[in-house]
Structure formats: C-alpha cells, structure tokens
C-alpha cells in the first residue's frame, strides 16, 4: 500500500461525505493504491451510519473503527495509525476538503528533502479566507496573544505567504499532515497523555528533537471548516481539556516562557 489516509470523526455528519469524496478523488489522481482508516469517536448523530454507507460504497478502501465513547484525539488516531500500511500517511480532520492535487503536491515537497518529518498545506476557510494553521511553539504569552487576536494574525499572515514557497515552521496543526511512515517509526505515535490538543504541537516538537523538519508549503491548499471547539470565552469541557493538555505539554518539554527550539521563523 502506498497511501494511508487517517480520519477521525466525532459528530461529523455535516462534513464526512464531502471529506471522503475529496479523498477518493485524490486517490484516483494519485493512481496509487490507497486506504482510508476512519475512527469514529462515539458520535451521537448520524456520522456512524454515514460511515457504514460509505464503507459499503467503497469496499476494500474504507476501514472503519467505531468507538462507544469519545477517547480524544490521540488514542483514537493511534488506533488507525497502528493499522496503516501505507508508505505515506495522511492525517486529516473530518472537516477537511482536499482540493485537487494537494496530495500529489505535498508528496513532491516531501520527496525533495530526506530530512522532512512532516509537511502540511495552506488551509483556508470555506469562504476562501486564509486560516492560520502554523505557528511558533506556544508560550503562555503567545497563547494569550493568539486567543485575543487570531483573526488579525490571520490577516497579517496571508500576504506574507503569497511571497514564499515551502518554509520550515515550528508546528502545523494536524488538520492535514502528510508524513512518511518512517517518521512514525522514528518518532513514535501520538502522546496519549494528551486527550485533546496540543497533541499536534507536541508531535511536531518531537519531530524537531529527532533531527527531522516540519515543512509548510502554502502552494498547496485544503479547505478546513474549522470548529475550534476550545476557543471563545465560554468555558466548555474542551476548553478545560485544552488547558490541561497545555500544562502537560509545558511540563513535559520543560519550558513555559521561552520556546524550546529556535529555527527560521518566517511566520510570526
């Protein structure tokens, strides 16, 4: 198997159909064997029924795992990662829609350098606006800045990206990643001590510490209908879990105010 798409769902009835359709279309463009591993995190809407239907529609391609409860983003994704047989792994959120050619483009970027651990595309909102999906490693002060002024940061970042090709970044959110299976063999699976966020930041830092690079290539694009369930002033369970995840991340990597790795930060 050449490509394994890893997809996590939770109450994703609005997105799962278009997401799968875009993956199937990309798989046909790739003209290589591919598989889709879907883990449903105990959805209470019609997501599971839609996955059953899609698996019957595409036999031998879609391999679903249905959980009775929400196990978070790390344990569930790791279940699929353990089953993946592809040389290249594409990690996706269920609210992603792949634009034609993005997978081939990321593969070309990945294959240009032997030291790339993961590559990510530019993400846009459904209305075409730029979405901030890469950043420096978080500190307490930077998290406050991002919480208060995210939309302004997105507006300032968009023109900068039009002038640049593939660049090294501290981290890219896991709404869409492409990585060779060799990265997982070297770095390991996601840290299951984190229930929900910042597991992607943690994994990117581990990639850097392993001697590999995190690359962002804005030439290639995917649509991300980001829900950002932990954002906003309302205190939700996801907000609390995110805070606990951040505190664990800071303790694990032994920093709070100064980022741990200094690289070419072309995106602030």
Burial of 46 (0-12, 13-18, 19+ CB in 10 A): middle
Q: Residue 114: pLDDT band by 50, 70, 90 thresholds?
A: very high
Number of domains in the chain: 1
pLDDT > 80? residue 106: yes
- The pLDDT, as a whole number, for residue 169 is 92
Residues 29-71: pLDDT tens digits? 988 899 999 999 999 999 999 999 999 999 999 999 999 999 9
What stretch of H or E contains 169?
A: none
Query: Does residue 262 lie within any of the structural domains?
Result: no
The strand ranges marked E within the chain are 3-9, 34-41, 62-67, 88-93, 96-98, 116-124, 130-131, 134-135, 167-168, 171-172, 176-180, 213-224
Q: Residue 89: pLDDT band by 50, 70, 90 thresholds?
A: very high
Interval 76-98 mean pLDDT: 97
Query: Does residue 260 lie within any of the structural domains?
Result: no
Q: Are 204 and 170 in contact (CB under 8 A)?
A: yes
Query: Does residue 68 lie within any of the structural domains?
Result: yes
Distance (Å) of CA 39 to CA 171, 206, 256:
24, 24, 33
Query: Does residue 148 lie within any of the structural domains?
Result: yes
Query: Does residue 117 lie within any of the structural domains?
Result: yes
Q: Which domain holds residue 109?
A: 3-253
pTM value?
Answer: 0.89
pLDDT > 70? residue 145: no
Measure the CA–CA gap between 49 and 11, rounded to whole angstroms: 11
- The pLDDT, as a whole number, for residue 230 is 44
Query: Does residue 268 lie within any of the structural domains?
Result: no
- Quote the Cα angle for 184-230-168, to 5°: 40
pLDDT > 50? residue 79: yes
Query: Does residue 170 lie within any of the structural domains?
Result: yes
Q: Residue 215: pLDDT band by 50, 70, 90 thresholds?
A: very high
Q: Residue 155: pLDDT band by 50, 70, 90 thresholds?
A: low
Exposure string of 257-267, with b = 16+ CB inside 10 Å and e = fewer, is eebebeeeeeb
Q: Which two tokens stand for residue 112?
A: 């240009």
Question: Could you tell me which residues are beta bridge partners of residue 199?
Answer: none
Query: Does residue 259 lie within any of the structural domains?
Result: no
- The pLDDT, as a whole number, for residue 165 is 84
CATH number of the domain that residue 234 is part of: 3.90.550.10
């Amino acid at each position: 198997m050449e490509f394994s798409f890893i997809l996590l769902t939770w109450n994703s009835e609005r997105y799962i159909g278009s997401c799968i359709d875009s993956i199937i279309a990309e798989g046909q463009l790739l003209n290589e064997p591919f598989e889709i591993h879907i883990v449903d995190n105990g959805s209470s809407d019609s997501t599971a029924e839609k996955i059953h239907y899609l698996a019957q529609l595409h036999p031998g391609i879609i391999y679903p795992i249905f959980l009775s409860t929400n196990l978070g983003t790390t344990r569930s994704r790791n279940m699929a990662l353990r089953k993946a047989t592809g040389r290249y792994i594409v990690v996706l959120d269920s609210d992603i829609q792949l634009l034609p050619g993005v997978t081939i483009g990321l593969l070309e970027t990945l294959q240009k350098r032997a030291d790339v651990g993961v590559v990510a595309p530019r993400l846009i909102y459904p209305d075409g606006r730029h979405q901030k999906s890469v950043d420096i490693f978080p500190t307490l002060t930077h998290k406050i800045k991002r919480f208060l002024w995210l939309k302004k940061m997105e507006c300032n970042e968009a023109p900068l990206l039009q002038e640049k090709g593939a660049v090294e970044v501290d981290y890219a959110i896991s709404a869409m990643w492409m990585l060779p299976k060799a990265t997982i063999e070297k770095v390991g699976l996601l840290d299951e001590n984190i229930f929900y966020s910042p597991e992607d930041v943690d994994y990117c830092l581990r990639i850097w510490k392993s001697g590999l690079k995190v690359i962002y290539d804005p030439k290639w694009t995917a649509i991300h209908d980001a829900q950002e369930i932990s954002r906003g002033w309302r205190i939700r369970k996801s907000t609390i879990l995110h805070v606990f995840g951040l505190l664990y991340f800071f303790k694990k990597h032994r920093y709070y105010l100064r980022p741990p790795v200094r690289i070419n930060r072309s995106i602030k």
